[in-house]
Amino acid sequence: MPDTTVQTQQPASPLRVIGGVVYFLALLYLFFFSIELMSAAFKMGGRGFAEQLLNTAADPVAGLLIGFLATSLIQSSSTTTTIVVGLVASNALTIQLAIPIIMGANIGTTTTNTIVSVAHVTRPAEFERAFAASTVHDFFNVLAALVILPIEIFFHPVEKMATFLQGLFAGVGGMSLASPLKAVVTPPSDFITGLLPYELPLIAIALVVLITVLTRLMKLMRGVFLERMASLFDRVLFRNDATSFALGMVTTAAVQSSSATTSLVVPLAGTGVLSTRQIFPYTLGANIGTTITALLASFSTGSPAAVIIGLAHLSFNILGIAIFYPLRAIPIWLADKVGVLAARTKASSAVVIAVYVVLHIIPILYLIL
């Protein structure tokens, strides 16, 4: 008589569960560490040049492009905005020219997302989802700048809104916000940059660590993680637009890096845990959360104009959300279409690199000519 006993899967032992959690947290730490190291490398080679570049803004369009290039060089919109705050406080830059730079900084900070998405390039279906998730942030920032910049030039809604808010905060002194994430990833990053103070080797090390960690994370997500944790993201953290927005805003304000928090969800999209539609409000929240660093820095300058610039970054993002959240189908559709296009091209990674290079050549040509 055949054996009809049903084989049931034994639950994992407590030690195995604890080991899995520790392994996941270690990978997560290395992910954030690699991004911090990459950011430090970019700043090492590009911050001084970025400061000089920001001083050359001659008109609003040039300011937008300069903000984009400067932030692409140092991979931190918070740093760019903080530099701009200092320039305005010292009267080296006017408010009218500083605001377009802030808009450009929003666009330039999304490069890290694209780098993370390339880790999925060997799996076309995953790369399509990951690339769409990485570019939906770009499309929102670009569309917001294209719509708001012309209006700002003629009617100054961002400046007026920021000036009004500055009046509400009059008399507020300098404040600071300690990032628990930076407290644990910055010391080892600083140690390595001290041992090897060269930009290209540091970027290479950061990329190797990042790609290795992403490979391990994706393997984990395709297995037990995808089965046991997908419902946590889908039904709790990203269950609606409000929770997604709040999560993006709070986590980005806490870690003070929109590059880190938005890059983190790209593998989740690649492995099918999250959709571009779910990620979009999260990126909007990240845009709000990333304004906190420069805003707090502006309060310490004692300059009303500097505070206006810190609040202009916040005001621009609020106006962009007010316009494009109701029209969210547009950036989501564009991101999904670009994801399909990139994934269906045989040399997908080459296409990504080519687009990235072209996007930087156009502003350079405009500024030169």
- Rounded Cα distance, 263 and 211, in Å: 13
Q: Helix, strand, or coil here: 184?
A: helix
Place of tokens 């570019």: 135
Radius of gyration, alpha carbons of the chain = 21
* 321 has pLDDT over 50: yes
- Rounded Cα distance, 310 and 251, in Å: 20
* 341 has pLDDT over 70: yes
- Rounded Cα distance, 171 and 167, in Å: 9
Residue type, 21: V
**Distinct helix (H) and strand (E) counts, the chain:** 17, 0
pLDDT band at 327 (very low <50, low <70, confident <90, very high): very high
Each residue of 87-101: pLDDT tens digit?
888 787 888 888 999
Each residue of 20-76: pLDDT tens digit?
678 878 887 887 787 777 767 766 655 555 566 666 667 888 888 888 888 877 767
- Rounded Cα distance, 261 and 328, in Å: 20
Q: What is the 3-state secondary structure (H, E, C) of 97-159?
A: HHHHHHHHHHHHCCHHHHHHHHHHCCCHHHHHHHHHHHHHHHHHHHHHHHHHHHHHHHHCHHH
Q: Helix, strand, or coil here: 96?
A: helix
For the ranges 151-155, 169-173, 208-212, the lowest mean pLDDT is seen at 169-173
- Please tell me whether the overall predicted TM-score, pTM, comes out greater than 0.85 for this model: no
Higher-confidence position of 351 and 289: 289
**The pLDDT of residue 34:** 76
Each residue of 270-316: pLDDT tens digit?
888 889 999 999 999 999 998 887 787 777 777 788 888 889 999 99
